[in-house]
Structure 1
Amino acid sequence: KSAPSIPKENFSCLTRLDHNRACSQVAMRCGISANSVKNMIIWGNHSSTQYPDIHHCKVNVQGKDVTAFDAVKDDAWLKGEFISTVQRRGAAVIKARKLSSAMSAAKAICDHMRDIWTGTTEGEFISMGVYSTGNPYGVPEDLIYSFPVSIKDKAWKIVDGLAINDFSKAKMDATAAELVEERDTAVSFLGSTAVT
């Protein structure tokens, strides 16, 4: 809104930290490297409403790609504690260390920028907050919202065609509602500070 001359697709926000944390949680649960967890999705806001979605996640176990559900073998954990742990991980790190999680954030920034620069592997996607307009998942327009994206030639594209179940849709809608509220509050401040 404040920089209309810059193309909207040039803006992105960092949900890679949350993405990396979600991959690490699944990897630790399976006793494997986080590099063996692919296609994790963080939907929505970088806040406690974000939704770490493993429904399209693949885990490489002993050289074979399986679903996260098959690898973890604990649906209750994946739909409960896993989600809340990822949502609150930043606050938990700060509380435990009495310091910020700056190193993991720096690593996430490097991952985010590397993928913009070099692209994503064919058939794989990462999480990135991007401008929502006419997206395939019913997210309100005019938000910066985290989606699964693939990147090629330094341009991101929202991965479409992923099946979304009712559980996921409810989580996605909740984080979108929070972002709409934040957007509307920010826009109201912009309007109230305008010089007349």
Structure 2
Amino acid sequence: MSQKKVKVAVTGGAGHIGYTLLPRLVSGEIFGKDTIVDLHLLEITPALKALEGVVMELNDCVFSLLCNIVITDDPNVAFDGVNWALLVGSRPRSKGMERGDLIRVNGPIFVGQGQALQKAASDVRVAVIGNPANTNCLIAMNNAPDIPNDRFSALTRLDQNRAVSQLAQKAGVPNSEVSNVTIWGNHSATQYPDAENAKIGGKPAMDVITDHEWVRNDFLTTVQKRGAAIIAALYPLLTNIEPSIPPSFFCRVRASWIWVCDTKLASIKRCPSLA
């Protein structure tokens, strides 16, 4: 069987999300069992030593699909010739912070990364997870004018997963029974989780869940504020990552790579065409 090859850049490779994500990138789960993966890992200079430790662990796992690993603190090196750029690294959100608070510190990071993305392969796809994801994605996109806008996307699958979980729990069914959940708006407390077009066991969700007051109130606020609630509950044990992020990011990348997912509808934030 012939093997394909993909070059994947991951920023913040030594962070909690990167540490969880990297093994899945090279295991065949995302790009398939016939795809060799080269990793380009970007970190800030003080974290390069930790990144070396992450690479040691990856090498010791002897992943059959892992070929080459590049570690660097230079985005021009990290993005050189890559087919996928996963922009994970950013200043994390801590207790009491909203995503808007992060724009001031994270904006310049994504300006530089957007400019460096010009060195990527002609078919590059860019997925942003670093908060505030929508704004950071827009900043990177605007600083990479040679890359079509529709190649950029930001994580919102996590919000979809949260909405699915809440509907499933309310209906008393497995998560797999819930489909067609949509998230409108930003990956923030202003988002609108849409249950009215969702289905539970193939039936309209609003027919299965008759407590419509719950849908209009508790359901909305629970999903909108879930990230802050998780951080508050785990603080100070876990201050810079929500543990549900890596699986949702995995689903988002996998959905784009093979155009299928474990639900018939997958939420992805993309810039609309301005033409």
TM range (shorter): 0.5 to 0.7
Counterpart among 253, 256, 265 of residue 113 in structure 1: 253
User: How far off is 1:120 after superposition?
Assistant: 3.3
Residue 141 of structure 2 is aligned to residue 5 of structure 1: no
Task: Confirm or deny: 8 A CA contact 2:168 2:174 kept in the other structure.
Answer: yes
Task: Confirm or deny: 8 A CA contact 1:93 1:101 kept in the other structure.
Answer: no
- Please give the secondary structure, in 2, of the residue aligned with 1:5: coil
| Structure 1 equivalent of residue 220 of structure 2 | 83
Identity rate, percent = 39
AA of the residue aligned to 2:250: C
Structure 2 Cα separation of the partners of residues 101 and 31 of structure 1? 28
The structure with more radius of gyration? 2
AA of the residue aligned to 2:184: W
Q: CA RMSD in A?
A: 1.8
The residue correspondences of 1:33-182 to structure 2 (distance < 5 A) are 33-60=174-201, 65-98=202-235, 99=238, 100-120=240-260, 124-133=264-273
| Structure 2 equivalent of residue 155 of structure 1 | none
User: How far off is 1:101 after superposition?
Assistant: 4.5
Structure 2 Cα separation of the partners of residues 101 and 69 of structure 1? 33
Structure 1 Cα separation of the partners of residues 195 and 170 of structure 2? 13
- Please give the secondary structure, in 1, of the residue aligned with 2:250: helix
User: How far off is 1:118 after superposition?
Assistant: 1.9
Structure 2 Cα separation of the partners of residues 26 and 103 of structure 1? 20
Residue 164 of structure 2 is aligned to residue 23 of structure 1: yes
Task: Confirm or deny: 8 A CA contact 1:14 1:129 kept in the other structure.
Answer: yes
Higher relative contact order (CA 8 A, sep 6+): 1
Structure 1 Cα separation of the partners of residues 221 and 243 of structure 2? 22
Deviations 1:73-130 (A, max 9, x none): 1111111110010000000001011124432000100110111112136x93221100
Task: Confirm or deny: 8 A CA contact 1:90 1:101 kept in the other structure.
Answer: no
> What TM-score, normalized by structure 1, do the two folds share?
0.63
AA of the residue aligned to 1:74: D
Q: Name stretches of at least 5 consecutive residues in structure 2 with no aligned partner.
A: 1-141
- Please give the secondary structure, in 2, of the residue aligned with 1:103: coil
Structure 1 Cα separation of the partners of residues 258 and 173 of structure 2? 25
AA of the residue aligned to 1:26: L
AA of the residue aligned to 2:217: G
Q: Name stretches of at least 5 consecutive residues in structure 1 with no aligned partner.
A: 134-140, 143-196
Structure 2 Cα separation of the partners of residues 82 and 17 of structure 1? 15
> What TM-score, normalized by structure 2, do the two folds share?
0.45
